[in-house]
């Protein structure tokens, strides 16, 4: 009996420690919308369900289930609306607020970064303060290219044999479209800049971007809802 109680105590302490580990760090953002089911996974293997109003943290991977969406507002004002069946890692996120002096507009603090990794699926994002002054402070890595911003509202989707909701099924690769501003797509094939109203396809990590004349079917007939209005 003593051994059983001791094991139960250790398990309970482990669970409490895990919860405290999430709570100790400053959150990177807040969930503003969940439809269906979404969760956050840590590198250590912990998993928790996401709820509206709950936090997300640096180091977590956000996961959406089938027919599920989640919208996240980051502390710098940026937002990301994830598609169903997506995996989106918050690899490094640092933002300390704004510095403002009398008579001057607010400016981002010097040390800031927002580095993400799209592992699966896609999203629509509206960038916040991070990366507007120093573009290199913001990047989204994907399996075939790294995305940089130029003050941007954009959407991307990565197909890897899993875009069966579109018929005929689109070619594997990264599809990108821009609603406002511009993005850069960089890989072993060079850099492609995609501006407002333009669409790009990249088929592999060493393949240059292909400018598309019309909206690709992989992104759907219309853009995902604006993340700024998903609450």
Q: Closest Cα to residue 210, out of 222, 202, 218, 221?
A: 202
pLDDT at 154: 97
| Secondary element (H or E) of residue 16 | helix 2-24
pLDDT at 110: 54
Residue 163: CB atoms within 10 Å: 20
Task: Write out the two tokens for 13.
Answer: 């302490």
Q: Which fold has domain 26-96+110-229?
A: Jelly Rolls (2.60.120)
pLDDT at 231: 87
Q: Which residue ranges of the chain lie beneath pLDDT 70? A: 1-25, 98-110
Domain ranges, ordered by start, for the chain:
26-96+110-229
pLDDT at 96: 83
pLDDT at 162: 96
Residues whose CB falls within 8 Å of the CB of residue 129, separated by 6 or more in sequence, listed in order: 76, 77, 78, 95, 98, 108, 112
């Amino acid at each position: 009996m003593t051994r059983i109680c001791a094991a139960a105590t250790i398990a309970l302490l482990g669970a409490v420690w895990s919860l405290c580990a999430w709570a100790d760090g400053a959150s990177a953002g807040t969930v503003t919308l969940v439809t269906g089911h979404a969760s956050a996974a840590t590198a250590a293997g912990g998993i928790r369900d996401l709820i509206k109003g709950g936090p997300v943290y640096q180091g977590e991977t956000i996961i959406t289930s089938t027919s599920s969406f989640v919208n996240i507002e980051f502390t710098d004002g940026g937002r990301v609306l994830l598609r169903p069946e997506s995996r989106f890692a918050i690899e490094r996120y640092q933002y300390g607020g704004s510095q403002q002096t009398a008579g001057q507009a607010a400016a981002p603090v010097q040390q800031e970064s927002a580095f993400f990794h799209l592992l699966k699926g896609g999203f629509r994002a509206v960038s916040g303060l991070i990366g507007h002054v120093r573009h290199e402070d913001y990047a989204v890595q994907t399996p075939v290219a790294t995305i940089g911003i130029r003050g941007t509202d954009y959407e991307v989707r990565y197909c890897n044999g899993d875009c069966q909701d579109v018929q005929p099924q689109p070619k594997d690769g990264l599809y990108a479209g821009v609603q406002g501003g511009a993005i850069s797509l960089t890989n072993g094939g060079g850099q492609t800049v995609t501006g407002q109203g333009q669409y790009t396809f990249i088929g592999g990590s060493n393949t240059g971007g292909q400018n598309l004349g019309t909206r690709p079917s992989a992104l759907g007939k219309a853009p995902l809802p604006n993340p700024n209005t998903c609450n």
